[in-house]
Amino acid sequence: MEEQKKFQEELATIEGEIVGDVSAQEVKLNQSGASQISASKVEMVQSGAEVISSQKVEAKQSVALVVKAEESAFESSRLGFVKANRAEVSNSRVGIAFCQSLRAQDGKAFLVIAKEMAGTIETVFDGATAFKFGLGLGLALGLISIVRNWLKEG
What pLDDT shows up at residue 1? Answer: 37
What pLDDT shows up at residue 37? Answer: 93
Q: What is the pLDDT of residues 48-80, one digit of tens each?
A: 999 999 999 999 999 999 999 999 999 999 999
In the predicted structure, residue 4 carries a pLDDT above the cut 90: no
- Give the DSSP H or E segment for 53: strand 48-60
Q: In Å, how far are 7, 28, 29, 52 from 76, measured between CA atoms?
A: 27, 17, 16, 17
What pLDDT shows up at residue 42? Answer: 95
- For residue 91, the SS3 value is coil
Global pTM value: 0.76
Asked if 18 and 37 touch (Cβ cutoff 8 Å), the reply is no
In the predicted structure, residue 6 carries a pLDDT above the cut 80: no
Chain-wide mean pLDDT for the chain?
A: 89
DSSP conformational letter for 31: S
Strand partners, 64: 49, 79
Q: What is the pLDDT of residues 15-33, one digit of tens each?
A: 988 888 988 899 999 999 9
What pLDDT shows up at residue 3? Answer: 42
Measure CA of the first residue to CA of the last residue in the chain; give whole Å: 61
Q: How far apart are CA 87 and CA 103, in angstroms?
A: 6
Q: How far apart are CA 57 and CA 38, in angstroms?
A: 11
